[in-house]
Structure formats: structure tokens, C-alpha cells
Chain A
Amino acid sequence: MRKWICLIIVALVFAGLGQGLAAEKPYAGQELKISLIAGFTTNIGLKTLIPEFERETGIRITIIETGYGAILEKNVIDLSAQTGAYDVLHVESLWFAQYLPYLYSINEFMEDPELFNAAEFDLQDLTSYTPLTLSAFTREEKLYGLPHLAGIPLNWYRKDLLEKAGLQPPQNVDEYYAHAKKLTRDDVYGVALSASRTGLVDEWLSFFFAYGGALRPRPEAFLKTTFNNPTALKALDLYKRIYDEAAPPQSLTWEFGEVGSAMQRGVVAMMWNWSNGGSWYDDPEVSKVVGKVGANVPWPGRFGVNGLCIPQDAPNKKAAFEFMKWATSKDIMRRTTLAGGSTPCRTSVLTDPEITRKNWWFEALRESGKWSTMYLEIPEWSSIDDALAIEFQKVLTAGLSPAKALETASGNAYKILKEAGYFE
């Protein structure tokens, strides 16, 4: 009899332990498939910390990386087929509107104190950098993602070349052009441009904003003259002059990576380029300009925030939210930045003394967050961007006048919005 009582007590103790463990790891045994955009330094750092998450939660993580140029169509096609292929998506804010019909709002998780500790997560740490960190993934008061990295273009310049020419870092676009002309000599060009069809409009818009231009807040308010006005013309004229007089002709095929490479190779003196590549210029294995590069913020750039989101057909939504929370937490964002990530979006990380000692451009990045902007988050933005880029490239290579290009481009952009039904 005593033997049986002992056995029952032991069994109850083990059952209790099991219950406790299950409570600590409620999602143990589940598998999450995470789609990430390849090449972001933050993701490289995040991957090194995944085993820790797996040990702590018992959740198995599978990372599926896809290049920036192909991930949008790959994911949207999978999502439209409702295959349940992913549990977490890495969403660039520029494409948020295209992903939106397939995303799951995380409000219910954020409002559940058992799932989300607001004080520990500290949303203020994100929004104090810029409110855009969260508003970029919000629609009609529903939040669809948590921001996990954010880049903003900065003006990167060769300190040694500017000093040699007796110049200070440019404070506006006109100085940028003037400096670029002066610095174009021998084998060095004044600036590198992202004049490829996929990068040109981003860069041109920064000049447009610098001259005081603005986009309409809603697509319904767009006019045929939204991209066809004196400010837009001034910006395009400037772009053409920079291309003709101070930029390598092969800039026409360059995007963010090639522009950064040009700076690494020491063939350009300045560039307006994303902060994502900040660590490249000080890497002695790939850069010829270690210690020679500085950065400032002469005009507003696009806030390129990327978030982690849950698709509607995700099989393990709560576990997915657990991962999102972890990956965007203060501690993990700090550690991924220390591991080489260069695009945090928390003020605490951007001001961390240990981090800012190594990532010297974070000071400029913090400042740029205050006045960076976002474009219209509508599904048609890709079409509008392309419609503008086609005409602008003709200005650079085919002798089309900037005025004519803007007239055609702006008209095409208006037509795209009209066909999409925004003016009905």
C-alpha cells in the first residue's frame, strides 16, 4: 500500500513538472518558417542568435532568404495561393500596401498581457526615433507588423578629398552639386548616383523634397501636376546636371550596392546612399577608404523601415508573434547591431555608447530620423515609380527634355491612379 502511495506521489510530481515546463514553453515543438530579405546586415546578425531563441522556446526556426529583387513576387504569389508557406514575413515598408490583404493584425496579441509586456517591449523606444516606425505598418488603427530594421539615405563623403579641396560637407543639394563638380578630377568622380530604373526615383525624390516639394497625403488628392511643377523640374534639372558633369556614366545601371562599391573602391567623392551599408566603408577586407568616410544629413530621405509581419494563413500565429517580439526587442536589436547590423530602429540602440563608438554614422542616422519621410503606401506605388523612372532615364540618355519627361511621367502616374479607381 505504501509503495502504491509513493508511486502516485512521484507520478503527480512529474506531472506537475511537465505542466510547469509546458507553461514555460507553450509553443515547444512548433516550427516557424521565416521569410527574410537576403543581404541585410541585421538579418545576418539575427541568424546568429536564432539558436538561443530555439533553446529558450523549443520552437524550431527555418529561415528562407530571398534576394531583394525577387522576394516581393515570390511571397505575394505564395500568399495568394494560401499555402501557409510562411509564419513570419520580412516586409519592406515600400511594399506594405501590396502585402496588406494577406497580413494578420497583431492587435489581439498586443492587447493580451500574457502575450505582450508593453513596459518591457517599450514602444516609445521605437516611436521616439520616428513615429513612422509603427505608423508604416498601421492601417485603420490596426497594427500589422513590428519594425526590426530601418535605413535612411545619408550623404556619405570622403573626408580627405573634401579637406584637400577646402570644402565642408554640403548642407543642401545645390552645394552637393557644386562640390561634386569641384571634386570630379583625375580618376575620381564627384558623386555616384543610383540612376538605375529601380533606384533613380528614390534619389530624385530626395532632391524634390530638398527643394521643398511634397507628395499629396492621399492618392485621391493627386493631380496631373503632382510630379509636374517647378520644384519637380528644378530637381530633375539638377539630377541631369549631376549625371552629365559629376557622375560616372555607368551610374545608370547602379543601385545601392554598386554605389556603395564605388565608394569602397575610392572612385567617387560623395554619394547619397542608404545607411545599411555603413559598415562596408570601414571593412579593410573590401574597402580602400577605411577611416576616410564621413556622413551628414543635408536633406530628407525616405524612411526605409522593414518590419516582421504575420501572414493570415500562417499556421502558428502565436508562436510567430513570440518570434517577432523577440527579434524586435531591445536586447536582441542591440545584440544584432553589435553583431554587425547597421540599421536599428530603437533610440536606445542608436544612442548606445558601445554601439555608436563603432557605428559612427549613427549620429547622422538619428538626426535623419527626425525629418525622414515616407511615400504613399498604396499598391500602385511600384507602377508609379516605374512610370517616372522610364521618362527620367530618357532625360539622362536619350536627350528628352526634363519638362517633357515630367509632363509625360506625371500624366502616366495620374492615369495609373485613375485606372485604379482613386478618383471615382
Chain B
Amino acid sequence: MKIKVNLAPYLLLSGAVAVLFVLTIYPLIFSLALSFHKWSLTKPGPWRFVGLLNYVSIATNPVFWQIILNTSIFTFSAVGLQFTIGLGLALLFSREIRGQNVLRSIVVLPMMVPPILVGLIWLFMYKRDFGIINYMLGLLKIEPIAWLSKPLSAMPAVILADTWQWTPFMFLLLLAGLRSLPREIYESSQIDGASSWQIFRYVSLPLLKPIISIAIIIRFMDAFRVFDKIFQLTGGGPGVATETISLYIYRNGFRYFNMGYAAALSYLAVIMIIAFSMIYIGVLRRVGER
């Protein structure tokens, strides 16, 4: 009995699979293999297999843990701020307000600016001698602050720049979520005498949960990988006060050219992002079940 196999779908998919393999799968396998070797771009010679030595070296380096702490502080603070402000703006714009189209366009503008330019803009704004922020402080008779020169102010300064740029993203997603909620539930809540806060707490938030979880996961993954702004604003300084994992990987890979070490760092970063995502989704699911 002859079995007819329809090859057409496979042939049509083969192009996409080939591109996926070349651009994603192969580089992943290559860098995983590299992470178990020592290889420097500036020293001739083949790869040298060192097993888990790169990973051990990373784990025993106190600078690495400082950088993980910095990355966590940056990520959680920035995403938290962006969510809070974004939700507030979304709630405001979910009602009919005059000029909302124009206002919405203005609110969304920062997201259109390339991250490296955002870093440059805020770098000039933070300048102690001629930055606009210190100028405004001067009008209030406050001494100018060297924002990027002190560890305590450098990280908040970087978080603020990131929040300025990416709050519109949260705002757009949450506004779309709010606008998609059924009006009948709000009307029946109002008829039942629920206050605005009760409606928000017991109606809007639970219904928005899927959108919120997507927005936070996407922003978390982006914020964890932040590079451009910090590269431009502080270069990771003062000391390592604002150095995050992406900048550390860049420094090891493209300044010191320790490619094996940088590959190992990259994999550890991926593992952390995956771990957080799995924990976050698990927590959401448990909360949802309750």
C-alpha cells in the first residue's frame, strides 16, 4: 500500500527553520560550547577546554555578585515605577478627557527615542555645571548635585532615565487592557454601590491580570538586559555602582576579549531571566487559583 506524504508544508517551513537555525539555534549552541572553553580574540591559538572553570570563576568573583545586585535593584525599581506610573496614566486616559489624542501622543513620545539618545539627553540634563536639573534646583536655592558621580544618586538617576523612556510602553499596554474590559461589569458594580477604589481593586485589577503579567514580564526581560543608557550615562560607574550584567558581559567580551568568560556570563544571565519568569508565572498561577 503506498503512503502519500505531503511534503509541501515541510518545504514551505524549511526556509524559516533554516533562518531560525542560523540566527538563533546555531549561535546558542556555539556560545554554550564556548562557555566551557578559554578563548581570547587577542591571543592566537585554538579554544582551550576548561570545563566549568569559567562558571566557577564567575561565581567566586565578588564583582559579579555586586553586578547581580545592581541589575536586580535597577530592574525591580524601574519596572515597579514604570508599572505604577503607567497604570496611573492608563486609568486617567481610560476616561474621556479633552485633547486626549494629543496628550496621548505626547506621553508616548519618549518611547520613540533610541535608548542611546535617551542616555545622551539625560547625560546633559544631569551635568552638574550646566544641566537643566541642577539649574531648576538652583532656582529653588538648592546646591547643584553631581548626580552621576555619587553611588547613592547614580543608580536612581539611571532608573529615572529608563522610567522616562519606558513608562509609555506600560501605559499603552494597560490602557489597551482597560479599554478592552466589558463596560457591563463596571455598570453593574456602580449599580451595586461600589466605590471607585473598590471597582479598581476588585474589578479592574483582577481583569487586567493577564495584561499586567505580560507587560511586567516583557519589561522585566528588557530592563534586565539594559545596556545603552548605562553605557552612555555612567559607563557602569562610579566604581561598579551602576554596572549591570549586560555592561559586564560587554566589558569582558569586547574590552578584555575573554570570549569564553563572556559566553558563560551570558548563559548565566539567560538562566536568571528564565528562572525569574518561571517563578513569576508560578506565583501568578497560584494567586489566580486562590
Interface residues of A, Cβ cutoff 8 Å to B: 72-73, 76-77, 80, 97-101, 196-198, 248-253, 265, 267, 379-380, 382-383, 386, 390-391, 393-394, 396-398, 419
- With A198-B235, A393-B238, A394-B239 already in contact, the answer to whether A72 and B255 are too (CB < 8 A) is yes
- With A77-B41, A252-B146 already in contact, the answer to whether A196 and B235 are too (CB < 8 A) is yes
Q: Is A397 within 8 A of B150, CB to CB?
A: yes
Q: Is B151 within 8 A of A397, CB to CB?
A: yes
Chain A residues near B251 (CB, 8 Å)?
A: 386
A253 vs B41: C-alpha distance when bound (angstroms):
29
**Which residues of B, 39-74, contact A by the 8 Å Cβ criterion?**
40-44, 57, 63
Q: List 13 A-B contacts (CB under 8 A).
A: A76-B41, A97-B42, A98-B257, A101-B43, A249-B146, A250-B146, A252-B146, A386-B251, A386-B256, A394-B238, A394-B239, A396-B238, A419-B57
Q: How close is A383's CB to chain B, nearest CB, in angstroms?
A: 5
Chain B residues near A251 (CB, 8 Å)?
A: 149
Chain B residues near A265 (CB, 8 Å)?
A: 129
Chain A residues near B128 (CB, 8 Å)?
A: 248-250
Q: Is A197 within 8 A of B256, CB to CB?
A: no
A252 vs B126: C-alpha distance when bound (angstroms):
13
If A99-B42, A101-B44, A250-B148 are given as contacts, then 5 extra A-B residue pairs at C-beta distance below 8 Å, sorted by A number, are A80-B41, A97-B42, A198-B235, A252-B237, A383-B258
A14 vs B42: C-alpha distance when bound (angstroms):
51
A253 vs B128: C-alpha distance when bound (angstroms):
11
Residue B244 lies at the interface, judged by CB distance under 8 Å to chain A: no
Q: How close is B271's CB to chain A, nearest CB, in angstroms?
A: 23
A177 vs B54: C-alpha distance when bound (angstroms):
44
A390 vs B254: C-alpha distance when bound (angstroms):
18
Chain B residues near A100 (CB, 8 Å)?
A: 42
A267 vs B148: C-alpha distance when bound (angstroms):
19
Q: Is B239 within 8 A of A73, CB to CB?
A: no
**Which residues of B, 223-266, contact A by the 8 Å Cβ criterion?**
234-241, 251, 254-258
Chain B residues near A398 (CB, 8 Å)?
A: 151, 238-239, 241
- With A76-B257, A249-B128 already in contact, the answer to whether A98 and B151 are too (CB < 8 A) is no
Q: How close is A98's CB to chain B, nearest CB, in angstroms?
A: 4
A382 vs B44: C-alpha distance when bound (angstroms):
18
A397 vs B154: C-alpha distance when bound (angstroms):
11
Interface residues of B, Cβ cutoff 8 Å to A: 40-44, 57, 63, 127-129, 146, 148-151, 234-241, 251, 254-258
Closest 7 CB pairs of A and B: A73-B254, A252-B149, A393-B239, A98-B42, A249-B146, A250-B128, A379-B42
Q: Is B148 within 8 A of A253, CB to CB?
A: yes
A98 vs B236: C-alpha distance when bound (angstroms):
23
Q: Is B237 within 8 A of A253, CB to CB?
A: yes
- With A97-B42, A253-B237, A386-B251 already in contact, the answer to whether A380 and B256 are too (CB < 8 A) is yes
Q: Is B42 within 8 A of A249, CB to CB?
A: no
Q: How close is B156's CB to chain A, nearest CB, in angstroms?
A: 15
Q: Is B41 within 8 A of A397, CB to CB?
A: no
Q: Is A383 within 8 A of B237, CB to CB?
A: no
Q: How close is B234's CB to chain A, nearest CB, in angstroms?
A: 7
Question: Which of B149, B238, B255 is in CB contact (< 8 Å) with A386?
Answer: B255
Q: Is B149 within 8 A of A250, CB to CB?
A: yes
A196 vs B129: C-alpha distance when bound (angstroms):
17
Q: Is B239 within 8 A of A390, CB to CB?
A: yes
A7 vs B238: C-alpha distance when bound (angstroms):
80
Chain B residues near A99 (CB, 8 Å)?
A: 42
Chain A residues near B255 (CB, 8 Å)?
A: 72-73, 382-383, 386
Q: How close is A258's CB to chain B, nearest CB, in angstroms?
A: 10
Q: Is B149 within 8 A of A101, CB to CB?
A: no
Question: Which of A80, A197, A267, A380 is in CB contact (< 8 Å) with B237?
Answer: A197
Q: Is A379 within 8 A of B237, CB to CB?
A: no
Chain B residues near A197 (CB, 8 Å)?
A: 235-239
Q: Is A397 within 8 A of B238, CB to CB?
A: yes
Most buried by A among B41, B44, B151: B41
Chain A residues near B44 (CB, 8 Å)?
A: 101
Chain A residues near B63 (CB, 8 Å)?
A: 390
Chain B residues near A386 (CB, 8 Å)?
A: 251, 255-256
A329 vs B57: C-alpha distance when bound (angstroms):
48
Q: How close is A278's CB to chain B, nearest CB, in angstroms?
A: 23
Nearest neighbor of B239 in chain A, beta-carbon distance? A393
A382 vs B149: C-alpha distance when bound (angstroms):
22
A73 vs B254: C-alpha distance when bound (angstroms):
5
Q: Is A382 within 8 A of B256, CB to CB?
A: yes
A112 vs B172: C-alpha distance when bound (angstroms):
69
Q: How close is B70's CB to chain A, nearest CB, in angstroms?
A: 13
